[in-house]
Structure 1
Amino acid sequence: MQIADFSPPDTPAARGALALAREYQSPALTAHAIRSWLWAEAFARVDGIAGIDHELLYVAAILHDIGTVPEFDNHRLSYEHAGGHVAGAVTAGAGWPTQRRLRAGEVIVRHNQESVDPAVDAEGYLLEVATALDISGSRPDALPAGFVREVLAAHPRGDLAAEFGACVVDQAARKPDTAARRLVDGGLLDKLAAHPFEHR
């Protein structure tokens, strides 16, 4: 398995999502989004999940944390719900039908759940396990070691641990009834600091 096995969709929605991420997110947060997409595609192979909507998965992965940036932060909604609305706007502009736009938002919201049933939402499951790997260090040995090294070299973590930790702590303080509070209370900062990919 290698990065070349996975090609970003060459579609208006996919290009728009990446352009928006690069314009508004930091390089570390955008690299996290790209790694999350690559991990998700790799987990689809490792876990034997077929029939996924690759374009939807890509758009959701690229935009899943965009609700943390000031321009898209919502004073009331969780950052994953805010990001889901951004994905809805991007995909509406690309001509997606309503139900598919809503699915992109569902996948983004579900990435912050503690677990997602792949039989219920394959793309939601893949984004959840991918982001759990990149943020919390879950299943660090599930993917081929050479592939992991290649992804980390192409899309380095940079200041992700400090930057993302600060974002989620801020979200949890301002919106204590959202998933950000659960993440912080669950030891997010310690998980980021001890992440095995931080020490490679």
Structure 2
Amino acid sequence: MNLDDVPVPDTSAARAAREVATAYCSPALANHCLRSYIWAASYGMERGIAFDAELLYVSAMLHDIGLAKEFDSHTVAFEEAGGHVAWVFGAGAGWPVERRTRAAEIIVRHMWDSVDPDADPEGHLLEIATGLDISGRNPDKWPADFRAEVVRQIPRLTLGEEFVACFESQARRKPTSAAAAAIDSGIADRIAKNVLDSA
């Protein structure tokens, strides 16, 4: 597999989601969102996991929008805030309520320890993908040459430092959040050792 084999949906909603991520996220975080889709879609394709490409793409592009200062809620975890943004985004895109709700669920679930692929294939794929891109989890599930190609074409920039700072801020202000649990479990060290940074 190579990067050209991964289909990127070309719909008005997909293009708008990319525009939102680019406008509100740093370049490093926006690239992380795009890579997360690439990892997720390629993983699903290689394993025969059927998924809705537009829904996965929009969810991937918006999954960390709750870390942007404009959408950083002081009352809910960043993934829940991001889910609400996705619901509103879906309304603006003309999506039915069920599809908006699915996007919100996928974004919330990307912070779960695992997501059942039979119950939520897009949520499963995004959880697997973000685990690789942030903390280098299970890199051997993607070929080394494919990982290197993706990182070369969609560079990581200062993602590690930015992400640790974001999660430390979330943990201080929201001590019961999944971000706080990740900090307590040593995510900063895992990010620092991510194999993608030596790809």
Aligned residue number for residue 161 of structure 2 = 162
Q: Residue 94 of structure 1: CA displacement?
A: 0.9
Q: TM-score when scaled to structure 2?
A: 0.97
In structure 2, the residue corresponding to 1:149 is in which secondary structure?
helix
Distance in 2 separating the partners of 1:28 and 1:93:
26
> Which structure 1 residue ranges, 5 or more long, are not aligned?
none
In 2, Cα distance between the equivalents of 1:151 and 1:10?
A: 19
Partner of 1:120: 119
* Counterpart for residue 78 of structure 2: 79
> Matches of 2:49 and 2:155 in 1, distance apart?
27
Shift of residue 7, structure 1, vs aligned partner: 2.8
Q: Which residue of 1 aligns with 2:62?
A: 63
What is the identity, as a one-letter code, of the residue corresponding to 1:35?
A: R
Q: Is the 8 A contact 2:135 2:190 kept in 1?
A: yes
Q: CA deviation at 1:133?
A: 0.6
TM-score by length of 1: 0.97
Where does the alignment leave 5 or more consecutive residues of structure 2 unmatched?
A: none
CA distance in 2: counterparts of 1:45 and 1:13, whole angstroms:
22
Q: Is residue 2 of structure 1 aligned with residue 7 of structure 2?
A: no
Name the residue aligned to 2:87. Answer: 88
Instruction: Report the alpha carbon displacement of residue 47 of structure 1 after superposing the two structures with TM.
Output: 2.7
Tell me by how many angstroms 1:104 deviates. Answer: 0.1
Identity in percent: 52
Distance 2:182 2:118 in 1: 25
Q: How many residues align?
A: 199
Structure 1 residue runs of 4+, over 6 Å off? Answer: none
* 1:199 Cα offset (Å): 2.2
Match of 1:196 in 2: 195
The reply to whether residue 187 of structure 1 matches residue 168 of structure 2 is no
Offset, 1:85: 1.1
CA contact (8 A) 1:16 1:90 kept: no
Equivalence for 2:47: 47
